[in-house]
Structure 1
Amino acid sequence: MADTAMPESADPVDPVSSADPVPVTVPRPASAPDIPALGTVEGDDPLDRAVWRLRSRGCWDDAAALLEPHAVRHAPSALRRAALLAERCVFTATGWAAAEDALRTAEALAADDDERGGAACERGHLAYAATVLGVRDRADEARSALGRAAALLAPAAAGRPLLDFRRGLMAEHVADSPDAARAAYRRAHAGATARGDSLLLSFTWRHLAGLALRDGELAEARHGFAESLRIREELGFLIGTAPALAALADAAPEGDADRLRAEAARLFRLMGGVPTWLADHLSTAVTAT
């Protein structure tokens, strides 16, 4: 996840226009936990490229297997492997035990504050996902782990934007505090912009747009959802494209919405019904196409 910065009124890190919202009735977007496990598209190393190709197509087990030999003794590789397996949980609601085992390995290998903070952030992410997917209520564990990550990661740490994003998810979907969520998403977006983290930007655009839709700000929502979709298509993040299409459909005019949902349904079938939580949101389109 051309990463333009978001404006917050006069602040350049807010994606929205300053126009007054038009009071309209709009559907709430799907509350799907569209959560990035790794905030960064991997770089030019052949292993990194191979991991990204597999991950972007939803082949998390295969991607994790590539990292397994390195994850035995190398803390960053162990954390990346745990993050991949956690993302599999988010998209499929399966594989929790494997993700927990991988995360314990990453926690044991962590040797400095950045590594410990990254592992704590991943712990909070996994606990949050289990909570919002209805597997088990681990909200207290998620809060504790994300708070520990905030204490360990310096403000300029590479993992800070992803942590801010995940704290926004907690604020929105667990604490039901959209204002706190918006502030956290904006911090994450600013950090992702500064670091050139396009994939994370696709998530911050999407979730800020979701809050705009919740407030009836349709033009703002459409812009954010469209930016999220554009970035995912440019990156080739195939597994995340159907959710982005479905989100944009929620803010689109009726004719466009039908087309977008049909395309999302086609990709959903192509990916073998993953992400599983998108099924109900697309049920009409899946039946009709």
Structure 2
Amino acid sequence: MAGTAIPRTVRPAGEDPLARAVWRLRSRACWEDAAALLAPSAEQDAGAALQRAELLIEHCLFTSAGWNRAEEALRSAESLSLSDVERGAAACARGYLAYASTRLEVRDRTDEARAALGRAAALLGPGEPGRARLDFRRGLMAQHLSGTPQAAEAAYRRAHAEAAAGGDLLLCSATWQQLGTLALLAGDAAAAREAFSESLRLREETGFLVGIAPALMALAEVQPEEEAGRLRTEAGRLFRLLGEVPRWMAVQLA
């Protein structure tokens, strides 16, 4: 993984003013405000509807709240999806929402998550838009719901290569984070440190502020105590600044 070439400069939202406004709100934990900006176009445009649904699903993951709104937004996106790629992306989002509900112990939707991600895999072939995201989410399923770390690692590595090729640095950051967790569980602190450091660097580079505190906490796990304390203090500051999200970090910081 260390040899994977990833561009060091990126503008996640490009030059489009609406996309940039949505990104700024999303990165600062204002998912509902970001979704509201997309609401007018989401009424008829499948891409905008799916993006809005993804924002609200991410809100659920960080706050363990807003499930009904995310479900309604996803159903709307599914109703507008016509092409195989659109239907595949909507199925991928459906699987992710079901995964999140199960992982956060809101409601067990494991079977729904597996079925939806399976549909997505049938519709999104290698190289198709959204395939990297799908592989990452299948890795999450394998790691956290199926308990198969080898399958999870293989899925994360595929997702990482695809995301790097497409310049998706935020997804690269997510794959580094999960690969670091697997390395730490396997007892390879050096590999975990490299992965967590890269994940943090990419979140800082892209300006994904809401994701920086969890990355700091992960990196603290593999640092000497003095440095770990500094990282946890900074993570706590950001956690409070952004409205105490993600919610699960409250236990780690207590």
What is the RMSD of the two structures over their aligned residues, measured on CA atoms? Answer: 1.2
Give ranges in structure 1 of 5+ residues lacking alignment.
1-5, 15-39, 284-289
Counterpart in 2 of 1:203?
A: 174
Contact 1:222 1:251 in 2 (8 A): yes
Counterpart in 1 of 2:245?
A: 274
Question: 2:66 pairs with 85, 92, 95, which one?
Answer: 95
Q: Which amino acid aligns with 1:57?
A: R
1:155-194 map, 5 Å: 155-194=126-165
Contact 1:117 1:152 in 2 (8 A): yes
1:217-236 map, 5 Å: 217-236=188-207
Higher RCO (CA-CA < 8 Å; seq separation 6+): 1
Q: Distance in 2 between matches of 1:184 and 1:42?
A: 26
Deviations 1:142-161 (A, max 9, x none): 00000000000121111000
Contact 1:55 1:84 in 2 (8 A): yes
Counterpart in 2 of 1:52?
A: 23
Establish whether residue 69 from structure 1 lines up as the match of residue 7 from structure 2.
no
- The SS at the match of 1:281 is helix
Q: Which has the higher helix share?
A: 2
- What TM-score comes out, normalization by structure 1 length? 0.84
Give ranges in structure 2 of 5+ residues lacking alignment.
6-10
Q: Distance in 1 between matches of 2:179 and 2:229?
A: 23
Q: Distance in 2 between matches of 1:43 and 1:115?
A: 21
Deviation at 1:255, TM superposition (A): 1.2
Q: Distance in 1 between matches of 2:227 and 2:37?
A: 40
Deviations 1:215-255 (A, max 9, x none): 11011100110000011111111100000000001111111
Establish whether residue 80 from structure 1 lines up as the match of residue 44 from structure 2.
no
Q: Distance in 1 between matches of 2:21 and 2:224?
A: 39
Deviation at 1:41, TM superposition (A): 2.6
Moved over 4 A (4+): none
Establish whether residue 109 from structure 1 lines up as the match of residue 63 from structure 2.
no
Percent of aligned positions that are identical? 63
How many residue pairs end up in the alignment?
A: 249
Counterpart in 2 of 1:28?
A: none
Establish whether residue 131 from structure 1 lines up as the match of residue 102 from structure 2.
yes
- The SS at the match of 1:43 is coil
Q: Which amino acid aligns with 2:103?
A: V
Deviation at 1:256, TM superposition (A): 1.0
Q: Distance in 2 between matches of 1:141 and 1:159?
A: 19
Deviation at 1:43, TM superposition (A): 1.8
Deviation at 1:266, TM superposition (A): 0.9
